[in-house]
Structure formats: structure tokens, C-alpha cells
Amino acid sequence: MAEPGARDAQTGGGLPPPASSPRTPVRRLDKRLANLKERHLMALGAIRRFLRTHSCYDVLPVSFRLVVLDTKLTIRSAVDVMWQNGIVSAPLWQSTLPRGPLHPAQPDGANAAVERPGFAGMITVNDIIHVIQYYYHTSQNYDHASLDVETFRLERLNEVEQTLNVPPPPLLWIGPLRPLAEAADLLVRTHARRVPLLDFDEQLGVETVVSVLTQYRLLKFIAMNCGETAGLKASIGSLGIGTYTYEHLLERKQRAPAARIKMCAPPPPGADKYYPLSTATLDTTVFDVVHMFSQQGISAVPILDETGDVVDIYESVDVITLVRTGAYHSLDFTIREALERRPPEHAGVACCSSDNSLASVFALLRHRRVHRVIVLKPDSNSVACGEPADLDSPPQRSRGTL
């Protein structure tokens, strides 16, 4: 007969298991998360070094076309040129250039204006939106607006800004040989979507517009040439990338109390459940959405149906069609009617989840021309994209819940 001590030694005799056993899965999870975090931080460091060692000039393709508009052009002609060349912004050039930050006062006491060509800023979709608002508020009728817009020159855009009481855009620029890190810092600090590249000849006192560096072109360059983006395993939600509803942020905070989630201000009384996001329906008027673009400084508004599903997106670039087709004064028609005017080659809506990694977003940029992504709840109606396997399907209209 075996002694009790021997039996206890073989079977454990009812003694509790080692204290570390129940915590083993947790320790493995913590170790895995620590490895992912370390890999993410290493990838960020590599990308920062990449930006410091490449210049803005490196982003430019070997062959490209640069469209520069003279300030003497009319707004209608400028929009036609932008439409024909598939661009939504262009540098401005004027023959009489006032003194400014780029052009110090002449030592011989010359006049405030010098008779030579010079860079005069940028025309963007925001300027076109302001022109639409200007004519909507000031024109007596459609015929008056259509006649005036034929002679309205780009050099008068400052008059529109003064009438609407909107601040003029800052005159930003950077040298083409400056590091990409400086350009990225300038874009982040000023919330600009693009910055012109100017090469200044100090002997002749004349600048040359080399190109325009946009947020998209910069991110695309990183995605295509910096393989370390594959190590960015943290989710876009945890990194605070994007604008989220207060309800979604609160849900993430409750799900992960220890996470450092940047909460927005609580919704004011009467706010809808999508606060602080701006949304519209197919029956919303174009003027209301254009007003959102101008007042809130946003470039796109999700379009929802009666059940709250995302059926489309109305972008600020869509307003170019209004000016080109002469509909800049008829802003009372609905988004449904405006979307019918959209060109058939529109790329559709790219969607993802807040749990998608930042690496998947860069993978998306490598495969598709994407300027914005709608973040949807992971339900049966949503379309999540960003993983490489999902990028082979052609873009199409998406449905999902914000």
C-alpha cells in the first residue's frame, strides 16, 4: 500500500497548481503586445529616418505636367483647365507682384509692386466653394451670376473672402531640396493639404514653381518606397487617426480603460448620435453641404440613408462640376441630384474598421488611389478594406454603419 505522501507526490494530492499557470496566457498576450509595440516603434523610427534622408524633389515623378494659372484668367476658364487636366488645385502666377515675405523691399526704394512675374499662391477647391457661396448670396438671379462669372478673374478672390468674412489662406511654400521631414512638419502644423515647391534664384530675384507636394503624394511615396510601413501594427483607432463619433470613442474607452484614447468634447444638447462628424442624407441640399465644407474646414461628408447606413460620400471636389456645368447658382437641388451629375469614372468609397492597422492603410495606398477612408462599424452591412487580400476587388459603392 502506497504511503499518502507518495500518492500526493504523483497526483498532486489536491494541492493547487503552480501560481504561474493561470497567468501564463496573459503573460503570453502581454509579451505579444509588447513585441508588436516594439516593432511599431521601430517602424516609426525607420520612417522618420526615411523622411530626413529624402528631399521633396525625390517625390516628383521622372516625367510630369505642371499646370500654373495666371491670375488674369477668369474663374470659369480656370475651372475648365483644372477639369481637363484632372487636378483640383493649381499654383497662381501674376505679372505684378506686391512685396511680401518672399520678396523683400527693394533697396533703391522701388514701388510696392515690381513689374515681373511671380508666385501668387494657390487656387483650391475651397476657393471655388467660396465663389459658389458668394454668388448664391449676392446674385439677383441666375442670368446675372452666369454673366458675372464669365468675367470674374482669379485676382479678385480676395474680394470674395472679404465679403464672406473668411480668412485668406496662408502663403505657404518650401524649397524642393528641403528634407521631406520639413515638408511633413509644415503640412501638420498648418493643417494644409498641399504645399508648393519653389526654387528661388537670389541673383535674378525670381522664383520658379517646380511642383506641388500634396499629402496624398507624400503618403504614397512612403507607402511605395518604405517597406518598414509593414511594421505599423497598431490600429488606427488606438492611434487616434481620423475623426470618430463620441459614441464610438466612449465605447472604445470602456472596452480598454487603460488605453490612451483622446476623447472629443461631449456632444452639446440636440446633437445627433454622429457628433462631432458632419453627415448628410440624399435629400440634403447641396448648399447645406457646401456650407459644411466652408464653415468646418472639411473635405467630405458621408451620405446616410434612413437607416443610418453609408450609401455614398459627397466630396468638396464634386463642387467643381457645379461651376463647370453652370449650376453654381442652383444649390437648392438635393445631394441625390448632385450625385447624378458625378462622372461615371468616380472611384467609389474606400472603407475600413477602426481596428484595421496603420500598415493596412499604407497597403491600401500602394494599390489604390485613395484620398480618404470611411471608418465603419464591423457589422454585416459594412465593407472593411485595407488588408492586402481585399485590395484586388474593384472599387464600388459601399454600404455600412458609421
User: Over the stretch 277-306, which tens digit does the pLDDT of each residue have?
Assistant: 999 999 999 989 988 998 888 899 999 998
- Asked whether the predicted pLDDT for residue 327 surpasses 70, the reply is no
Q: Are 20 and 217 in contact (CB under 8 A)?
A: no
pLDDT reading at 263 higher than 60: yes
Rounded to 5 degrees, φ, ψ at 244 are -120, 155
Of residues 124 and 383, more confidently modeled: 124
pLDDT digits (tens, 9 = 90+) for 103-161: 444 444 334 444 567 899 999 999 988 988 888 778 766 666 667 777 889 999 999 99
Does pLDDT of 396 surpass 60?
no
Same CATH fold, 234-390 and 56-103+112-124+169-224? yes
Contact 68, 91 (CB under 8 A): yes
* Distance, CA of 87 to CA of 298 (rounded, Å): 18
* pLDDT, tens digit, 9 for 90 and up, residues 217-238: 999 999 999 999 999 999 998 8
Q: How confident is the model at residue 313 (pLDDT cuts 50, 70, 90)?
A: very high
CA distances for 234 relative to 33, 182, 320, angstroms: 10, 25, 37
Which is nearest to 247 in space by CA: 270, 279, 278, 277? 277
Least confident range from 10-19, 150-159, 238-247, 253-262: namely 10-19
pLDDT of residue 76: 87
pLDDT of residue 154: 94
Distance between CA atoms of residues 335 and 351, nearest Å: 20
pLDDT tens digits, 34-81? 888 889 999 999 999 999 999 999 999 999 999 999 999 998 899 899
pLDDT of 262 reads 77
Identify which of 193, 223, 195 has the alpha carbon closest to the alpha carbon of residue 210: 195
Q: Which residues contact 186 (CB under 8 A, 6 or more apart)?
A: 172, 174, 192, 195
Most confident of 9-23, 142-156, 349-363: 349-363
Homologous superfamily of the 56-103+112-124+169-224 domain (CATH)? CBS-domain (3.10.580.10)
Per domain, the residue ranges of the chain are 56-103+112-124+169-224, 234-390
Which residues lie closer than 8 Å to 199 by C-beta, 6 or more apart? 175, 176, 207, 208, 210
Which pLDDT score is estimated for 24?
65
DSSP string, 316-336: GGGHHHHHHTT-TT-TTSBHH
The pLDDT confidence band at residue 344, using thresholds 50, 70 and 90, is: confident
Which three three-digit cell numbers place residue 162? 472679404
What's the gap between Cα 221 and its chain centre? 15
Inter-axis angle of helices 180-190 and 215-225, nearest 10: 140
- In DSSP notation, 201-228 reads ETTTTEEEEEEEEEHHHHHHHHHHH-GG
Q: How far apart are CA 382 and CA 301, in angstroms?
A: 17
Look at the domain 234-390 and name its fold: CBS-domain (3.10.580)
Listed range (41-55, 66-80, 188-202, 384-398) with the worst mean pLDDT: 384-398
Is residue 240's pLDDT more than 60? yes
Mean pLDDT of the chain, nearest integer = 80
